[in-house]
Structure 1
Amino acid sequence: MSARPIDEPHRTSSPLELLFDLTFVVAVASVTAQLAHSIAGGHGLAGLVPFLQVFFAIWWAWMNFTWFASSYDTDDVAYRLLTMVQMAGVLTLAAGVPAATGHADYRIVTLGYVIMRIGLVAQWLRAGLEDRARRRTALRYAACISLVTLGWVLRFLIAETGAFPWFSGLPSFIILDVLELAVPLWAERTRATNWHPHHIAERYGLFTIILLGESVLAASRGVEGALETGEIRAPLVVIAGCGLVLLFALWWLYFLVEAGEGLSDRRHRSYLWGYGHYGIFAALAALGAGLEVAVEQSGHGVAASPSALGYAVAIPAGLYLVALWAVHALVTTEPVIHPAAVLGCVTLILSLPLATPRIGVAAVVAAIAAGCVLLVAVTIMTAAVGARAGARRQAPQPVSSGES
């Protein structure tokens, strides 16, 4: 198991990585469905914290596998079998999502997370044994991941006994999350791993598409729920259609930047770029839940108020745009999406739910989609104007007859 070169040509996602991602489709679908259930029941804020906690576990497990694979994807028998162990952990975690988000029962989620970490630690130990140049880095990863995983197990055991309630609550969760995020920063202080910038950019793009697909799936579930009444109403058509337009616009904005080149030139910003995607990914998952309930309420009543449904779509969309602009700015010389345009669009989106009692949920979703489409159009036109101006500056100037 030797480190793969950072400039390997034509490095793309392997079939095993794509298979691995399918397990996360199940996990994300489960956590999104539970958030949608909370929103529909009128207690979306109460369901938000469990959603963010479980989604962090999903996202962090995917992150760890992705960056390790970018450095050490040998694709031999041992690598494949240990990847299968991690896949089993993801599916176990997904099975425990309803209990975790609905009843604060994290037994199955914790078990799934531990299984994933066992597979990952084994991979790092193998890398430490076989890659002498980065042995210290690999062993640091293995030791730190094991210690933090032990912390999650102790948190669960203490919660079961009822002792030290503060340690089993949100504060301990935040502390352990910070420790998880600090592991790569500390482990790579000795020597950095050989991650491939274009491979990483592609992997993040693929996971973004997975989350957009989950939002489409969630909206489809909402359509099924709305059609239980046996009627196809105008609000249903408007919300479903505009939801698709909204997701397409968000996809368009994400892929305006080819992040591989930027990561190659700015490898020191990879941590901020990678960690910043938690906001993008979580916002997309939450947006799917909001669209699902917005579509569903067009067919029959839900406990949530119209304003709450408007915010369930507007807030994730706004957070996505802010996080996307911040992540793009880390790897580009000049911002592709102008900050003023992002600020204006986000301000519009977040103010629209205030009008929900008067214009309805369908009109609010349509206006949010229109705002994002306008942002895409402004960005494209601004880029075109800038390209023409750059071409004129680079064009040779004609020489006058007097100068000749």
Structure 2
Amino acid sequence: MRTEMQRESGAVTPLELFFDLVFVFALTGVTAFMAEDLTWRGMLRGMLIFGLLWWSWVCYSWVGDVARADEGVTRPALFAAMAVMFVLALSIPESFDDLPGGLHGPVVVAVCYFLFRGVHLVLFWIISADDPGLRGQLLRFAPSMLVATTLLLVAAGTEGPTQTALWAAALVADYLGNYLGGARGWRLRSAGHFAERHGLILIVALGESVVAVGVGVAKLPISLPIVATAVLGLILSATLWWSYFDVTALAAERAFAATPDTDRPRLARDAYSYLHLPMVAGVVLLALGLKKVLAYVGDPVHHDLAEPLKGVGLTALVGGLTLYLLGHAGFTWRVLHVVNVRHAVPVVALLSMLGIGPHIPALATLAVLTAAMAGLVAFETTRFAEDRHRIRHEH
């Protein structure tokens, strides 16, 4: 059955938004996974799980730009993929260590990943019935997925550092294999649709950071420190939203749309599929850091208000913001060919908090980071007011 091709002006469909809800749950699961094992190993493994989820989502972001997600065979295929991803998300706590009873968690994760990617390949094969170039791209695309799945299955039978290394190798195989496979066969019908889809998944991640704050205090009596932490966390998330959606997303989408059709797939792969990865990963780490700050200020029995944020919690908070800014700078450079040196100053300031944070209260660390990001947003908004007005209001 053929699917209706996406028009150049195509907008994100309600089914795609529904599809993304599964990833809201999955991202929440990644944050919870790292919070349960607040060690360097736990954070590394959490990021590996996130990398698996991100690449799974990326594959389907291309589907919706070639064929309408709510028409033809695409609709049931997306529902099938949602079911598989939901099972994978449920299995996140057992991604590395199987719990007694039931199915073997690591194997379930590997099988779900294979099925999720398999549905994507079959769907694209159907869509590309009259497009030899796209089918050729799929043939170059498939081996990396098979290698990655094989490594995950092998990892399921191991433990410790070997298991973690095999997971890392699986992701390297998938990400690098896809990059080396090129982009000449991919098709993009609507630059606006593709850019909007990635903007929406970033909002999903930012929403997860807000959810992390809410879940973190759900069972705690409300207090002034909790209120302060919640407000600062929301402001911090808002600054990340502002830095991307106020001007950058608009300018990037227009530049993306103006890119010749022959060059557009490569730009889409680099700027959106790859360079949005550090931004979304940064937000996930930020959610973990906020969750840890709330644990410090909201539990006076086990923590003192003057207790500093240290170790993994501090690294997640500072590292998440730094990773986001670096990803944002890379995205701006790739699409707009602008080197955003203004982000270098806050990055240095943020990294300095790794040395200062262990000596000041956790809430003070959050306040300093929030002030730094708010200052960056305020500076860019006022310093480039004319350019901002032009970009936001030109048609």
Report the 3-state secondary structure (helix = DSSP H, G, I; strand = E; otherwise coil) of the residue aligned with 2:336: coil
Structure 1 unaligned residues grouped into runs of 5+: 390-404
Structure 1 residues 382, 178: CA separation in 2 closer, same or farther (over 3 Å shift)?
farther
Letter in 2 for 1:63: V
Report the 3-state secondary structure (helix = DSSP H, G, I; strand = E; otherwise coil) of the residue aligned with 1:348: helix
Pairwise CA RMSD: 2.9
The one-character-per-residue Cα deviations of 1:93-131 (angstroms, maximum 9, x if unpaired) are: 1011001155595222112212212211221221232xx
Structure 1 residues 279, 357: CA separation in 2 closer, same or farther (over 3 Å shift)?
closer
The alpha-carbon deviation at position 87 of structure 1 amounts to: 0.6
The alpha-carbon deviation at position 221 of structure 1 amounts to: 1.4
Is residue 62–residue 188 contact of structure 2 (8 Å, CA) maintained in 1? no
Please give the alpha-carbon distance, in whole angstroms, between the structure 2 residues aligned to 1:136 and 1:386.
Answer: 40
Is residue 107–residue 156 contact of structure 2 (8 Å, CA) maintained in 1? no
Please give the alpha-carbon distance, in whole angstroms, between the structure 1 residues aligned to 2:167 and 2:240.
Answer: 34
Partner of 1:76: 71
1:110-125 matches, cutoff 5 A: 110-125=110-125
Structure 1 residues 242, 254: CA separation in 2 closer, same or farther (over 3 Å shift)?
same
Partner of 1:272: 270
Structure 1 residues 383, 50: CA separation in 2 closer, same or farther (over 3 Å shift)?
same
Structure 1 residues 286, 388: CA separation in 2 closer, same or farther (over 3 Å shift)?
closer
The alpha-carbon deviation at position 310 of structure 1 amounts to: 3.0
The alpha-carbon deviation at position 354 of structure 1 amounts to: 2.7
Structure 1 window deviating more from structure 2 (319-328 vs 345-354): it is 345-354
1:303-382 matches, cutoff 5 A: 306-308=309-311, 309-334=313-338, 338-339=340-341, 341-382=342-383
Letter in 2 for 1:79: T
Task: Select 1:260's aligned residue among 234, 249, 253.
Answer: 253
Is residue 55–residue 282 contact of structure 1 (8 Å, CA) maintained in 2? yes
The one-character-per-residue Cα deviations of 1:364-387 (angstroms, maximum 9, x if unpaired) are: 101100000000011011212667
Alignment length (residue pairs): 370
Is residue 138–residue 187 contact of structure 1 (8 Å, CA) maintained in 2? no
Please give the alpha-carbon distance, in whole angstroms, between the structure 2 residues aligned to 1:312 and 1:95.
Answer: 23
Report the 3-state secondary structure (helix = DSSP H, G, I; strand = E; otherwise coil) of the residue aligned with 1:306: coil
The alpha-carbon deviation at position 162 of structure 1 amounts to: 5.3
Is residue 232–residue 370 contact of structure 2 (8 Å, CA) maintained in 1? yes
Which protein has the larger Cα radius of gyration, Structure 1 or Structure 2?
Answer: 1
Partner of 1:396: none
- TM (norm. structure 1) is 0.83
Letter in 1 for 2:344: L
The alpha-carbon deviation at position 254 of structure 1 amounts to: 0.9
Is residue 82–residue 122 contact of structure 1 (8 Å, CA) maintained in 2? no
- TM (norm. structure 2) is 0.84
1:89 aligns with 2:92: no
Is residue 3–residue 74 contact of structure 2 (8 Å, CA) maintained in 1? no
Structure 1 residues 52, 103: CA separation in 2 closer, same or farther (over 3 Å shift)?
farther
The one-character-per-residue Cα deviations of 1:251-277 (angstroms, maximum 9, x if unpaired) are: 000112112112123424222202011
Partner of 1:59: 54
Partner of 1:205: 199
Letter in 1 for 2:330: A
Letter in 2 for 1:284: V
The one-character-per-residue Cα deviations of 1:314-358 (angstroms, maximum 9, x if unpaired) are: 1101111111121122222545xx41x311111112212433344
The alpha-carbon deviation at position 69 of structure 1 amounts to: 1.3
Is residue 70–residue 194 contact of structure 1 (8 Å, CA) maintained in 2? yes
Structure 1 residues 310, 16: CA separation in 2 closer, same or farther (over 3 Å shift)?
same
1:3-402 matches, cutoff 5 A: 4=5, 8-9=8-9, 11-39=10-38, 43=39, 45-73=40-68, 75-100=70-95, 105-129=105-129, 132=130, 134-141=131-138, 143-160=139-156, 169-170=164-165, 173-174=168-169, 176-183=171-178, 186=181, 188-189=183-184, 191-225=185-219, 227=220, 230=221, 232-255=222-245, 256-257=247-248, 258=250, 259-266=252-259, 267=264, 268-274=266-272, 275-300=274-299, 301=302, 306-308=309-311, 309-334=313-338, 338-339=340-341, 341-384=342-385
